[in-house]
């Protein structure tokens, strides 16, 4: 529970980021020296990775808002979020992405268990959305909620609360934007991670940086 709380507190700033590309899982075809990955290990690894991603995004978003306000944050997120997603995925040796029932970036459209999760929880309060782990395509798919926090409402709240400059920035970068009209506590979207059920080496030994914990209990 502690890890989930820490991860979700960081994820309240994540809805400001506006693009995220996934990183392919490790190719297991060239090596037979693999180990089985349990459902609990996959869940723990995914939450640690979401926490790491959230910490990095939080720092960059805070700097962007301080330096140039919401319009600057839109630009920084569009440019930096994909790079951070790839970077974190490579370090953790898993695929990581985001999605939502109301997309800002159509490239983040949900599939499989992510689509099922959003169909069930996507328009409700984040507190009612669990961390889910499902089997999909011989992998573990871990899905965790992204709550809408007060800061998120700057770019994801009611359009009438946004400045003309911010509206124009969103229209320029995301002409098909649907990710507005949220209220604090809503489920803004989700993080997802695909983790192979067999992994080269020990999943728990995959490198984690920035002080992400390996010994935190989850439920």
Residue 201 backbone zone (phi > 0: left; psi -120 to 50: alpha; other: beta): left
Higher pLDDT, 57 or 187: 187
Higher pLDDT, 211 or 196: 196
- Domain segments of the chain: what residues? 2-24+36-195
3-state secondary structure at position 176:
coil
CA 120 – CA 76 distance, rounded (Å): 32
Q: What is the dihedral of CA 173, 94, 216, 12, to 10 degrees?
A: 10
User: How does residue 53 score in pLDDT terms, banded at 50, 70 and 90?
Assistant: confident
pLDDT at 18 exceeding the cut of 60: no
Higher pLDDT, 62 or 209: 62
Tell whether the torsion through CA atoms of 164, 166, 167 and 172 is positive or negative. positive
Neighbouring residues of 99: CB distance < 8 A, sequence distance ≥ 6:
108, 109, 110, 114, 115, 118, 189, 190, 192
What one-character DSSP code corresponds to residue 205? G
pLDDT at 174 exceeding the cut of 60: yes
What one-character DSSP code corresponds to residue 125? B
User: How does residue 2 score in pLDDT terms, banded at 50, 70 and 90?
Assistant: very low
Residue 215 CB neighbours (<10 A) = 7
CA 4 – CA 1 distance, rounded (Å): 5
Neighbouring residues of 135: CB distance < 8 A, sequence distance ≥ 6:
141, 197
Concatenate the DSSP letters of all residues of 5-18 into one string: HHHHHHHTTGGG--
The structure's pTM equals 0.77
CA 218 – CA 211 distance, rounded (Å): 18
CA 157 – CA 24 distance, rounded (Å): 32
pLDDT at 6 exceeding the cut of 60: no
């Amino acid at each position: 529970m502690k890890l989930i709380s820490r991860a979700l507190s960081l994820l309240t700033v994540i809805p400001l980021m506006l693009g995220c590309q996934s990183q392919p899982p490790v190719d297991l075809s060239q090596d037979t020296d693999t180990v089985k990955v349990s459902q609990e290990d996959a869940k723990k690894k995914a939450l640690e990775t979401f926490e790491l991603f959230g910490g990095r995004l939080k720092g960059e978003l805070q700097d962007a808002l301080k330096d140039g306000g919401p319009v600057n944050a839109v630009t920084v997120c569009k440019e930096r979020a994909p790079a951070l997603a790839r970077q974190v995925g490579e370090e953790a040796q898993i695929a990581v992405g985001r999605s939502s029932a109301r997309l800002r970036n159509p490239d983040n459209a949900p599939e499989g268990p992510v689509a099922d999760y959003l169909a069930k929880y996507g328009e409700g309060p984040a507190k009612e959305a669990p961390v889910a782990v499902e089997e999909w395509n011989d992998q573990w798919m871990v899905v965790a909620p992204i709550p809408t926090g007060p800061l998120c409402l700057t770019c994801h709240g009611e359009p009438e609360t946004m400045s003309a400059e911010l509206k124009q920035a969103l229209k320029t970068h995301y002409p098909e934007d649907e990710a507005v009209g949220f209220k604090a506590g809503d489920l803004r979207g989700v993080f997802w991670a695909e983790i192979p059920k067999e992994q080269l080496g020990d999943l728990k030994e995959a490198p984690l940086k920035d002080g992400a914990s390996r010994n935190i209990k989850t439920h």
